[in-house]
Amino acid sequence: MIYTDLDLSEKVVLITGGAGFIGSNLAFYFQKNHPLAKVVILDIFRDEEVFKNGNLKSFGHFKNLLGFKGEIIAGDINDKKLLKKLESYNFDYIFHQAAISDTTVQDQNIMLKTNVNAFKAYLDFAKKQEIVMIYASSAATYGDAPSPFRVGFESPQNVYGFSKLAMDNIAYEYMEKYPDMKIVGLRYFNVYGEREYFKNTTASMVLQLGLQILSGKTPRLFYNSDKILRDFIYIEDVIQANIKAMSASKNGVYNVGTATPRSFQDIADVLQTQMGKKIESEYFENPYSAYQTYTKADIKDTKEFLNFSPRFSLEDGIKAYLTEIKLIYEKEVKGG
């Protein structure tokens, strides 16, 4: 589905983090729907280097880009020399998806350098070259704030959420200082869908539970998972929000969720229904002392200023995703 009537012929688009989950989906959206636009991907592809928590430092994977015909640059958004070289491309739009997105990373220095300092450098770049900046913020900015989550009422509980809020604060400063500059921040809630497999353990519970069920294993959930509700949003709706942000009627930071929280138990049940399976769930104690039990996005402003309206319920999203989940199981899990 095409989400904008903008003429993107001959326009030049930069997607940072373009080999990751959301970035790669954006790249293929443009390739399919706006083939005359030039799309450039910048990503620090994975090299098996890990953080102290054992998780990969980069989720960028070449397999997410199989079939992509645009230009690919392997590089680090922290590299100032690389940023200087990008000036020659004369970009019209930047979709800044690159970040350390692992919420369990405790290395505050690298998190802030990569998420905050690099973002400011790209904002300066966008200002200098008059480029529209659309960037990824996160629902992690809200932390333990009461739901429904509203922009302006944040309480991050980890350095990742703090870094994203710092990005938003810088963006607001630029919006005020340079009112003619177009800047839109998108606070993603619990995103699931195609091309997330290489996020490994940080992939959505939709994928993780789906692969468990296909493997014949009992889906494992925390006790009282029917009472743990999150705002799950299918990747196609996240792409919709990004594309509609290109012609947003007002600069700002906007929630990207469905405003319809669903439980982890719902995910297991919907997956089994659609797979024709019936396996009893296994429950275990939640090991986390600080844990969100309810998240809901207030999307009133997103609807008004981005003309955004979520199209996929949890059932619809899982139905659309199921073919790829089965393919991942056959090719990566079973075949790997």
Catalytic residues: 160, 199
**HEC sequence for 170-189:** HHHHHHHHCCCCCEEEEEEC
Say which amino acid occupies 198.
Answer: F
- The dihedrals phi and psi of 72, each to the nearest 5 degrees, come to -125, 130
Contact in structure between 270 and 314 (CB atoms under 8 Å) = yes
Cα within 13 Å of Cα(104), Cβ side: 12
Q: Centre a 10 Å sphere on the Cβ of residue 302 and count the other Cβ atoms it contains.
A: 27
As beta bridge partners, residue 39 has 13
Q: Residue 222, exposed/middle/buried by CB under 10 A (0-12, 13-18, 19+)?
A: middle
Q: Residue 69, exposed/middle/buried by CB under 10 A (0-12, 13-18, 19+)?
A: exposed
